[in-house]
Structure 1
Amino acid sequence: MKNQLTHEASAFINFRNYNFRAPRSHGYRWVDIKHLRIPAESGGAHELLAALIAHEQFRDDYAGGGVLSEGSRHGPYWLRLVTPGAYKTVSREKSASILWGWVNQFEDVPAKLRADLQQEVFDRLSAADHICYLSDLGDEAIHDWGRVHEHFHEFVLIDRSDGRITLLVAADD
C-alpha cells in the first residue's frame, strides 16, 4: 500500500460502567474500537488487513497492557500467527448476530449500554462495505497466557465511503 493506515481515534465500552439489574457471576466484558484512516490509494480487503496487522495499534493483548509497539501478542494469539488469511468475510447480519449473542448471553443489557453499542458498534457494522471476522486460530496459536479471554470476537470493518477501517474487539475476561 502506497500510504500506511493512520490511527484516528479509539473508543472503549466497559460493561462495568452500566447499571445491571441482576448481579453478574461472569467476568468483565468490554468492546475496544480502533479507527484508522484508509489512504486514498488503498487496495483490496487483503491488502488492508495486511496493513492493519502491521500497524502498531494491532499490537494489543487486550488484557490491560494496551498497545505495545514491540509487542508479540494480539488478543489471545501470537501476533506472528495472525495473517490476512485468518479472516473470513461475514455478512452484516452474521456479524450482528454474533455480537448481539455475545452481548445478551447472560442477561438483558441496560438501555444506555444498548444505545452506546448501537452507536459505536452496530451502526458501524451497518455502514461497512466489507466485514471480516478473525477465525479461531487453534490451540497452537494461543500465546502463553492467552486463555485469559473467555470469549474473543474480532471484526475488521472496511468503510470506504468514510475512508476508514475499524478494528472492533468484543471480549470478556
Structure 2
Amino acid sequence: MDNGLVHEESAFINLRRYLPDPKEHGHRWVDIKQLRFAAESVNDRGLLAALIDHEQFQDDYAGGGVLSEGLRHGPYWLRLITPDLYEPISQGKVVQILREWVDPLGDLPAGLEADLQREVFARLASADGIYYLSGLGDEAIHDWGRVHDYFHEFVLIDRSAGRITLIVAADD
C-alpha cells in the first residue's frame, strides 16, 4: 500500500498490433494502471496527490518502466506535477481526443475497438470524476522528454468501485 492507494492491475494496448500499416502511426500505445482506494478517501484533489506520490506514477513511458526513485513522468519532471495541473474534462471530450489521436480517419480495426472499449471507454463511463493533465509548459519537459510527439494523460475516479485509473495515450 502506498499513500492509501494499492496497485491492482495494468493493461497495455499497442496499436501496432492492430493497424494495417504501423509505420503510418508510429509507436502508439495506451497504458492503463488501476489502483484501489479506501471508500473514506479524501476528495478528488487528495486522490490525485496520492496518485502522484504513488510508485506506479514514476514511469517515464519510454521503456524505463516504473522506477521507485524515478525523476520523470512521461515527458515531464515528476517534481513539477501537482494535482492543480489536472483539469476536469468530460467523458465526451476524452473520447474525442482519444479517437482523433488513435486514427484521425476513425476507421478502427475491430480488435482495437474492442480493447479500447474494454480497457478505456468502459472505465470512462463509470467514472465519477475525469481529469486531464494540462498546463505544463516547456520548462516542465525533462532532458529527453521530447521523445513523445503526443502525450495524453487522463485520471478516472470511480468512487463506487473505489478505483482510480491512470490512462496514458502516447507515442514514442
- TM-score per shorter chain, which class? over 0.9
The CA RMSD over aligned residues, in Å, is: 1.3
* 1:11-160 to 2 correspondences below 5 Å: 11-18=11-18, 20-22=19-21, 24-105=23-104, 108-160=107-159
- CA distance 1:60–1:49, change in 2 (3 Å): same
Q: How many residues align?
A: 170
**Uncovered stretches (5+) of structure 2, i.e. residues with no partner:** none
Distance apart, 1:140 and its partner CA? 0.2
CA distance in structure 1 between the partners assigned to 2:109 and 2:53 by the alignment? 37
Q: Which residue of 2 aligns with 1:9?
A: 9
For the residue of structure 2 that corresponds to 1:167, the secondary structure is strand
**Uncovered stretches (5+) of structure 1, i.e. residues with no partner:** none
* 1:160-171 to 2 correspondences below 5 Å: 160-171=159-170
CA contact (8 A) 2:15 2:27 kept: yes
Structure 1 residue runs of 4 or more that deviate by more than 2 Å after TM superposition:
20-26, 105-109
CA distance in structure 2 between the partners assigned to 1:108 and 1:4 by the alignment? 40
- CA distance 1:62–1:143, change in 2 (3 Å): same
CA contact (8 A) 2:39 2:159 kept: no
CA distance in structure 2 between the partners assigned to 1:94 and 1:14 by the alignment? 22
CA distance in structure 2 between the partners assigned to 1:135 and 1:97 by the alignment? 16
For the residue of structure 2 that corresponds to 1:150, the secondary structure is coil
Q: Using structure 2 for the length normalisation, give the TM-score.
A: 0.94
Identity among equivalent pairs (%): 69
For the residue of structure 1 that corresponds to 2:23, the secondary structure is coil
